[in-house]
Amino acid sequence: MKRNNTDRQISPTNPLSALLGYQLRRASVAMMANLAADLNDISLRPSEASILLLVQANPGITQSMIGSILGINRANMAPLTALLVGRGLIDRTPADGRSHGLHLTKAGTALAKKAARCIETLETRVLAKMPEKVRSTLVGQLRAIWDETPD
Amino acid sequence: MKRNNTDRQISPTNPLSALLGYQLRRASVAMMANLAADLNDISLRPSEASILLLVQANPGITQSMIGSILGINRANMAPLTALLVGRGLIDRTPADGRSHGLHLTKAGTALAKKAARCIETLETRVLAKMPEKVRSTLVGQLRAIWDETPD
DNA sequence: TATTGTTATACTCTATAACTATA
DNA sequence: TATAGTTATAGAGTATAACAATA
């Protein structure tokens, strides 16, 4: 098909930019990239930091329970947990013979505190970009998108 | 360390649930999973559908430009574009010897229309979960998180 | 029978480096 | 020198299936 050069785009338009799904994804990716970079300084990935914070808030919790809360499946929790145990950040105490209760070690507690500080700093920085009124309702609106039973 | 069973969690708490970054990620993942399932019926993945819509809105746009708009790098655009060309959804017309202008074929136009309908249906369904006032401002607030220069 | 944890495996997405052809 | 496109490759993240041990 013959084309002239009148359709060469100088300033392209993005038809996706008005879409909630698109903006959610871009915002999420951007924030995760920032978080990953910050957590990298303490040798943690976002998923590892999440697990530490969850164990800290729920001493004795099992791998499966963590997975079901965070949306990480059982098979993928195994190597993640093993790594954190291997680094001396969490330990396992037998619970019922087939499962273990997880607890933070002293080193794990210290690192969880640093991770929490990373996360809070980022949260504050991003939330500062929006007006107070939005700040207080945004998190709840996002939760409504994926979870009908808020906790 | 000796443990009793008083720390066995019956109803675990999630310390991440108040975090913007966490809720953004969960909402984004959930919405993308829904979109992927819907688009699967017309044999498109979200990235492929995005490219079709971008080419439709910007006839003659190049791969590199699409990549820079969508945040997909050059190397990964190559096989994506090749696949869509191979399926007869877009065609390339020489632009300047090293780049090609992309255009939707007739089949591509038809499929882009179906994809747009998938996306709009999902958007409507999700937006229905929130009050009118939030609906009108949410997208702009999300854009502010990752992009300082809205278009 | 169902659940917990594990291993193996595969698929997608993403990132970098190196190369060519052209500007 | 810089840019557009390509190829190869490596690293995450995620998904399923199958198995052992235990409930």
Q: Per-residue pLDDT tens for B83-120?
A: 999 999 999 999 999 999 999 999 999 999 999 999 99
Share of chain B above pLDDT 70, in %: 91
Contact A12 B54 (CB under 8 A): yes
What number is the average pLDDT over the span B5-26?
Answer: 83
CA dist., res. B32 & res. B126, Å (int): 12
CA dist., res. B88 & res. B108, Å (int): 7
State yes or no: pLDDT of A151 exceeds 90: no
Contact residues on chain A for B26, CB-CB shorter than 8 A? 71, 142-143, 146-147
Q: Give the pLDDT confidence of A36-73 residue by residue, as tens digits.
A: 999 999 999 999 999 999 999 999 999 999 999 999 99
pLDDT attached to residue A5 = 41
State the amino acid at position B14 in one-letter form.
N
State yes or no: pLDDT of B15 exceeds 90: yes
DSSP secondary structure code for residue B88 in this structure: T
Q: Which nucleotides of D are covered by protein (CB under 7 A)?
A: 3-9, 12-18, 21-23
Please state, as a whole number, how many other Cβ atoms lie within 10 Å of the Cβ of residue B105: 16
What number is the average pLDDT over the span A114-136?
Answer: 95
**Residue-level length of chain B:** 151
State yes or no: pLDDT of B4 exceeds 50: no
As a whole number, the mean pLDDT across chain A is: 92
Contact residues on chain B for A142, CB-CB shorter than 8 A? 20, 23-24, 26-27
The whole-angstrom distance between A18's CA and the closest CA on chain B is: 7
The pair of structure tokens assigned to B14 is 């999630």
Task: Please choose, from the candidates B148, B14, B12, B21, the residue with its C-alpha nearest in 3D space to the C-alpha of residue A120.
Answer: B21
Query: What would the 3-class secondary structure string for chain A be?
Result: CCCCHHHCCCCCCCCCCCCHHHHHHHHHHHHHHHHHHHHHCCCCCHHHHHHHHHHHHCCCECHHHHHHHHCCCHHHHHHHHHHHHHCCCEEEEECCCCCEEEEECHHHHHHHHHHHHHHHHHHHHHHCCCCHHHHHHHHHHHHHHHCCCCC
Q: Give the pLDDT confidence of A83-115 residue by residue, as tens digits.
A: 999 999 999 999 999 999 999 999 999 999 999
CA dist., res. A139 & res. B90, Å (int): 40
Protein-to-nucleotide distance from the CA of A127 to the C1' of D2, whole angstroms: 39
Contact A25 B31 (CB under 8 A): yes
Contact B28 A28 (CB under 8 A): yes
Share of chain B above pLDDT 90, in %: 87
Share of chain A above pLDDT 70, in %: 91
Contact A101 B23 (CB under 8 A): no
Protein-to-nucleotide distance from the CA of A80 to the C1' of D19, whole angstroms: 20
Give the predicted TM-score (pTM) of the model.
Answer: 0.93
